[in-house]
Amino acid sequence: MVQSQGTRQRYDVAVIGAGVIGCATARRYAIAGARVLLLEKAADILDGASKGNSAILHTGFDAPPGSVEAACVAEGYREYLDIREKLGLPLLRTGALVIAWTDEQEAALPELIDQARANGVDDVQMLSRQETLSREPGLAPTLRASFRVPGESIIDPWSAPLAYLGQALAHGAELRRNSEVLGGRFDGEEWELRLAGESVRARLVINAAGLFADEVDLALIGTRDFTTRPRKGQFVVYDKPAAALASHILLPVPTKITKGVVVCPTAFGNLLVGPTAEDQTDRRTARLVPEALAALRRRGEEILPALKEHTVTAIYAGLRPATEFKDYCIRSHEGLNYVTIGGIRSTGLTSALGTASYVFGLTEAAGFGFDAPDEIAWPNVANISEAGERDWQRPGNGGVVCQCELVTRREIEAALEGPLGARSLAGLKRRTRVTMGRCQGFHCSARLAKMTRDVFDTPMAERLDHD
């Protein structure tokens, strides 16, 4: 625990960045008994790489064997299954099909199966064309063969980090939003991190700044040993009736640079096609490009021809914090009480819990220990996925506000409350899915504007005072 001469501003651990990695890391240290501060520069958590991904909980069957990534993914996967019920988190055990569409791809399947086994995923199963089609009748009949990875699953990409952070807060962690770390100094014992207008002190600093992890390294330790090379991924999301077209995650045979375009169900009952893989220098904006989105539609229709008859209800893009290295860039800077977690490229949602444990192991080895609490709290997050009961199914919900996603008044009010409450429409969307459905706010904008008038940092609309 913190020494008594410490002010309120003194923490055991300061985690920089509230992406999925930062949230899982804050949790890991908090449940171990550390006094944790999580600093996020944006108005809300999950505003960086973590805001737009495919939401697949990977088994790691295609990870490079022996890499840090493979270890963190495997451990993250395992721990998610272990704790998810205690936190109220969903799991859609869809399984994945890795589908070969050409001779060349078909020839590559055995090697991929060997790789899966090397990664400890040994329940994969080769399927002939016929067997594949009988499991997924909606697939274009031109496919050659596939193999099935039963463990690949779908989760809720926002509730998971929210739940990790919720558990951290239950263990005394603090979250500060709109708090960018601008610089800092290590005096041999403690860090002093400079924020706009104030500073905080912590024994250990963990840089989980995602796309900005290299820049934070430069600002704090004066050097960086990797450079972020953002890789954009665009997606199209189809309306709920399209979800009936596929029951598995449909993966292509991966190439060296990308896992390729995936067709997969979502935890919210939609169907998703994406992502693209486009290198760019901008770390902030993931621009949607109509031609790329149209190409995704076409690719989706090549895989599932009946998709032609379905409508797109949402489009989004995310940036992967890729670097010049293939593996994660996790470094413990001995003597500086400082750890960098960078380059968590395309598997961070899955690996977050594992990555947090890996980092915890590094700092433990460097001598950081905390007094574990007597008991661990398991606060539940509200379920917004189709996998469990939803609030609209229960009495006293206050009525449905967002009709497409069936979000109730009670759910919205809860998401606006407390230390983790949403402070922007984007944050409210991630917590409840309001306006994320087919009408994109046609029906609920007015009620939302009223409900959030005095809550959001920037209101959805100004008041009309007739003059």
Partner 1 sequence: MTRLPAEVDVAIIGGGPAGLSAAAELKRLGVASVLVLERDSEAGGVPRLCGHSPFGFREFHRPMFGPAFARALVARAREAGADIRPATTVTSLGPGPRLTVTSDEGVAEIAARAVLVATGAREASRAERLIGGSKPGGVMVTGALQGLVYGAGARPFRRPLILGTELVSFSAILTCRHASIRPVAMVEPSERIVARAPSGLLPQVLGIPLYLATDIAEIRGGERVEAVVLATATGDVTIETDGVVVTGRFRPESTLARLGGLEIDTHTGGPSVDTCGRSSEPGFYAAGNILRPVETAGRCWEEGRAVARAIARDLAAPAADRGATVTLAEGPLRYVMPQRLSSDGPPALNELQLRADRPARGRLSLRAEGREILGHKVSVRPERRIRIPLPAGNYPVQVVFEEEP
340 touches ligand FAD (CB under 6 A): no
User: How is 189-237 classified by DSSP, letter by letter?
Assistant: S-EEEEETTEEEEEEEEEE--GGGHHHHHHHHHS--S-----EEEEEEE
Nearest to ligand FAD of 145, 316 (CB atom): 316
Using rule CB under 6 A, residue 319 touches ligand FAD:
yes
Q: Does 350 bind ligand FAD (CB under 6 A)?
A: yes
Residue 412 carries which DSSP code?
H
Establish if 16 lies at the interface with ligand FAD (CB under 6 A): yes
- Select 240 or 259, whichever has its Cβ closest to partner 1: 240
Closest CA to 184 of 210, 218, 160: 218
Q: What is the smallest separation between the CB atom of 314 and partner 1, expressed in angstroms?
A: 5
β-bridge partners, 56: 154
Contact flags string 302-321 toward partner 1, x per CB under 8 A: -------x-xxxxxx-----
Residue 178 sits in the site that holds partner 1 (CB under 8 A) = no
Q: How far is the CB of 213 from partner 1 (least distance, A)?
A: 22
Applying CB under 6 A, among 34, 36, 38, 39 the residue interacting with ligand FAD is 39
Q: Evaluate whether 348 touches 60 at the Cβ level (below 8 Å).
A: no
In the set 185, 298, 326, 450, which binds partner 1 (CB under 8 A)? 450
Site size with partner 1, rule: CB under 8 A: 53
Which amino acid type is present at position 389? E
Place of tokens 């569409």: 101
Q: 343 in helix, strand or coil?
A: coil
Choose which of 49, 68, 304, 460 interacts with ligand FAD (CB under 6 A).
49
- By CB under 6 A, name the one of 10, 27, 35, 41 that touches ligand FAD: 41
CA nearest neighbour of 300 among 268, 260, 269: 260
- For residues 340 and 362, the answer to whether their CB atoms sit within 8 Å is no
Handedness of CA 171, 172, 175, 181 (dihedral sign): negative
Instruction: Write down the least CB distance from residue 443 to partner 1, Å.
Output: 7
**Minimum distance between the CB of residue 439 and partner 1, rounded to whole angstroms?**
5
Q: At its nearest, how many Å lie between partner 1 and the CB of residue 437?
A: 9
Sign of the alpha-carbon torsion through 404, 407, 412, 415: negative
Tokens, residue 455: 């809550």
Q: Which residues contact 142 (CB under 8 A, 6 or more apart)?
A: 101
**Comparing C-alpha atoms, which of 231, 260, 256 is closest to residue 99?**
260
SS3 175: strand
CA gap 425, 410 in Å, rounded: 16
State the nearest-atom distance from the C-beta of 165 to partner 1, in Å: 23
Cis peptide before 64 (omega within 30 of 0): no
53-72 residues in contact with ligand FAD (CB under 6 A) are 53-56, 58
Is position 100 an interface residue for partner 1 (rule: CB under 8 A)?
A: no
Which of 364, 355, 372, 394 minimizes the C-alpha distance to 161?
Answer: 355
Interface pick for partner 1 out of 406, 407, 415, 428 (rule CB under 8 A): 406
**17 near ligand FAD, judged by CB under 6 A:** yes
Q: Which residues pair with 149 in a beta bridge?
A: 96
Q: Tell me how far apart the terminal alpha carbons of the chain are, to the nearest angstrom.
A: 58
Comparison of 235 and 370: residue with beta carbon closer to ligand FAD: 235
151 binds ligand FAD per the rule CB under 6 A: no
Please, which residue, 145 or 359, has the CB nearer to ligand FAD? 359
Query: Is residue 160 a contact point for ligand FAD (CB under 6 A)?
Result: no
Asked if residue 431 lies in contact with residue 408, where contact means CB atoms within 8 angstroms, the answer is: no
Window 262 to 301, contacts with ligand FAD (CB under 6 A) = 275
Q: Does 399 bind partner 1 (CB under 8 A)?
A: yes
Residue 246 touching ligand FAD (CB under 6 A):
no
- Provide the binding-site residues for partner 1, judged by CB under 8 A: 236-237, 239-241, 285-290, 293-294, 297, 309, 311-316, 392-400, 403-404, 406, 424-425, 438-443, 445-447, 449-450, 458, 460-464, 467
Contact residues for ligand FAD, defined by CB under 6 A: 16-22, 39-42, 47-50, 52-56, 58, 180-181, 208-212, 216, 233, 275, 318-321, 344-350
